[in-house]
Each structure stands twice: as structure tokens, then as C-alpha cells.
Amino acid sequence: MASHRDADREDRPGAGPWEELAPGVVRCRLPGWDATAGAVRGKAGVLVVDTGSGVAEGAEIREGLHRLFGLPVTHAALTHSHFDHVFGTASFEGAHVYGAQGLGGYLADAREELRQDAVRHGMAADVAAEAAERLVPPGHGVSEQLTMVPGEREVRLVNMGPAHSAFDLAVVVGGRDGGPPIVFCGDLVEESGEPQAGPDASPARWPAALDRLLALGGEDALYVPGHGAVVGAGFVRAQREALAERFGLSST
């Protein structure tokens, strides 16, 4: 489930430095598994995209965003079900939590499975146990697409269907003043290593999900992977072709 950094994992929280992608839109690469957390500033609060791999890491994300924007996190969008992206949600008390339809029910029943997976990937047993016990499933399921305008930018939460996981969600932030859209891809796209396909992946659907990402963002968008550096449409297209070849699917 986690990606590429297991051997280097250090059990410490962290959430920075924050990288500005556009005014009011930021992301950071978290230590350990190199997972991404993102955020969009609104008028009265902040939308966070993924919450980190544990309660302490989630608190660091929350506090870092408050220092950056001077606003509380009022909304959280979870791009998929894997522990390194959802285990920090308990640190955002009071936030409205969104995920693809069905993710809430899955996470409510998967605490032990996620705890075991976190420990398998190098998380300390006590840290994993606390995160699993305090795991907060989404209270809002996105069946197709949900549009919100928290501030100066439109944000779309798009249910991508099963691909990397059973519950993939993209967060598409509209461009402004001539700037490009920004697409938070979750682990549908990974830059810091080969995309991970675990037992919950749907390989036959994955290339089509990347086609849809490209249609949502367009050629000029910034695509923010679940792990690694921000990429452009060309990288996403190349990864789509690599996945189709890897899984023995016909290329377009």
C-alpha cells in the first residue's frame, strides 16, 4: 500500500517545507514514505488533501497549515484508503471528511488490516495501533463529482472508480488569473518510483483512470502525485502507457 521509502522510515512527524503551486494552493512531501499532503485556502478555512500516516503527522500538517494561512482546516479529502494517506485524519477534529463513495464503510471495518499493513511497512507498532484506533472514516461520500467553492478557486472532488485502490478520488483545483489547473492525483500517479499495485488494485481500469485525469486537468495542468515531484501531462501520459504495457492491456 505504501510506496518506495520503507527502508528509510523514521518515526517522526513532519510536514514541510510547503511548496506553493499557486496562490492559496500548496503541497508537501512527508518524510518516511514520501506521501503527499496538499491544501487549498478558502475564505474561512482550509481544505486538506490527505492527512498523513499517523496522528502526530496529521497534527504537524494541521499546525503547519495554520502557520501558513492563519486558518483552521475545515475540510479534508482522502484520495484513497491506504494508511499513509488516511491515518492522520483524527488530528483534524471537526473537519468535514470526504472520500469516494464506499470509502467510509471500508475504513470503518478495516482498522486492523490497515494497522497490520502499516507495521509491515515499518511503522512502530504503538504508533500504528493508535492511528488505527483513532481512524476517522469519511462522513461524506462522493458518488460521481462534487463541486465546492471554498474561496477564490473552484474545487472538484471526482470519484475515479477503482484503479490504484478500490476508492480513488481526484481533487481538481481550478486555475485562476491565467494559471493552470492543479490536479491532486493520489496514488493514481507516482513519480518517485514505480506505481504500487496491491491486492486492492484494479489494473484493467488504471490506464483509463489516467485518461480521465488528463481530460479533467488538460495539457497545461500541474499533476500532483501521491508520491514524488509535481509533473505535467506528458509524465501522466507516459505512466499511462507504462501501466498498460505492464498489465498487458492494449494501448491507445
Angle, CA of 241, 246 and 252, to the nearest 5° = 30
pLDDT at 16: 57
Sequence-distant (≥ 6) Cβ neighbours of residue 8 within 8 angstroms: 32
- pLDDT more than 70, % of the chain: 92
Per-residue pLDDT tens over the stretch 159-195: 999 999 999 999 999 999 889 999 999 999 999 999 9
Q: How many CB atoms lie within 10 A of CB 194?
A: 12
φ/ψ of 120, rounded to 5, equals: -60, -30
Mean confidence (pLDDT) of the chain: 92
pLDDT at 208: 97
Nearest-CA neighbor of 186 among 224, 143, 159? 224
Average pLDDT over residues 141-147: 97
pTM score above 0.95 = no
Average pLDDT over residues 92-104: 98
φ/ψ of 170, rounded to 5, equals: -105, 150
Cell output for 57: 503527522
Q: Given pLDDT bands bounded at 50, 70 and 90, which one contains residue 252?
A: low
